[in-house]
């Protein structure tokens, strides 16, 4: 199985060829979050991976920093000898994606965020993070695995597969990952992002929609797309629409 050579080792998968898109998952969910985005392999190199401590990736006993999660994205790209990529983050993965674009502009072709926000400032988001912290602190990983799988996948086989992967997640690292996301706020750095940004929202994911205003204010090249009838789980429950939006935007913007 493919792992990076750094410590802890990061598990990844790569399919397809062409312009690279690397997908970053929310805490605990791992590469199978984007099982349907691998359908883009006929047009792109699609890279998925597990954040450190999640699913198949290695874990450590040291205190974590947000920059480590960002650097892990770079390690996966380096392992695949990719110098520049489109970076796509879903939910909390979007925080890592936008920080990657800030920290590694020379390696970022474009930025895509699904369910985008620059910081979990709303009561709803902060509550979700605090629930995640509580679940991880009490090592209720099997319960979390079942809930995330049920909420994201209608297909029972796909749901069971990601549930089994999430159960491998290290509880203490997951707690830290949620805490780092809860504390993150890069609004003042957003103007340093100098690549095209695509934001994809579920049309019914109302509590994150207002965040787009910050991106429109701080960045020059921003496009927002809504997926009809969808809530937050755009990549899994509305993957045809999600993939079509990504494909059309990348081709139209001539990103390569």
Q: What is the pLDDT along the chain (256 residues), one digit of tens a residue?
A: 699 998 999 999 999 999 999 999 999 999 999 999 999 999 999 999 999 999 999 998 889 999 999 999 999 999 999 999 999 999 999 999 999 999 999 999 999 999 999 999 999 999 999 999 999 999 999 999 999 999 999 999 999 999 999 999 999 999 999 999 999 999 999 999 999 999 999 999 999 999 999 999 999 999 999 999 999 999 999 999 999 999 999 999 999 9
What pTM does this model have?
Answer: 0.97
The domain made up of 12-120+186-253 has a fold known as Rossmann fold (3.40.50)
As to burial, measured by CB atoms within 10 angstroms (0-12 exposed, 13-18 middle, 19+ buried), residue 154 is exposed
Q: Which pair of structure tokens corresponds to residue 253?
A: 């913007």
To 5 degrees, how large is the angle CA 7–CA 13–CA 18? 120
Burial 104-114 (b: 16+ CB within 10 A, else e): beebbbbbbbb
Residue 224 CB: number of other CB atoms within 10 A?
14
Place of tokens 């990549």: 235
């Amino acid at each position: 199985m493919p792992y990076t050579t750094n410590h802890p080792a990061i598990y990844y998968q790569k399919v397809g060829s062409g312009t690279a898109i690397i997908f970053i998952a929310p805490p605990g969910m791992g590469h199978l979050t984007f099982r349907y985005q691998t359908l883009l392999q006929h047009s792109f190199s699609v890279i998925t991976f597990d954040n450190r401590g999640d699913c198949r990736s290695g874990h450590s006993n040291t205190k974590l920093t947000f920059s480590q999660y960002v650097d892990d994205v770079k390690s996966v790209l380096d392992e695949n000898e990719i110098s520049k990529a489109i970076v796509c983050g879903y939910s909390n993965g979007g925080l890592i994606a936008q920080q990657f674009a800030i920290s590694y502009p020379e390696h970022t072709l474009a930025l895509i965020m699904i369910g985008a926000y620059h910081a979990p400032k709303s009561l709803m988001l902060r509550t979700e993070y605090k629930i995640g912290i509580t679940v991880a602190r009490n090592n209720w990983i099997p319960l979390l695995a079942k809930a995330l799988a049920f909420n994201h996948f209608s297909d029972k086989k796909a749901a069971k597969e990601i549930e089994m992967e999430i159960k491998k997640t290290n509880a203490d690292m997951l707690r830290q990952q949620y805490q780092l996301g809860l504390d993150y706020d890069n609004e003042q750095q957003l103007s340093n992002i100098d690549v095209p940004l695509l934001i994809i929202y579920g049309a019914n994911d109302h509590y994150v929609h207002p965040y787009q205003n910050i991106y429109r204010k701080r960045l020059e090249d921003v496009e927002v797309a809504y997926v009809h009838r969808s809530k937050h789980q755009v990549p899994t429950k509305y993957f045809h629409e999600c993939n079509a939006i990504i494909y059309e935007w990348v081709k139209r913007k001539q990103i390569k």
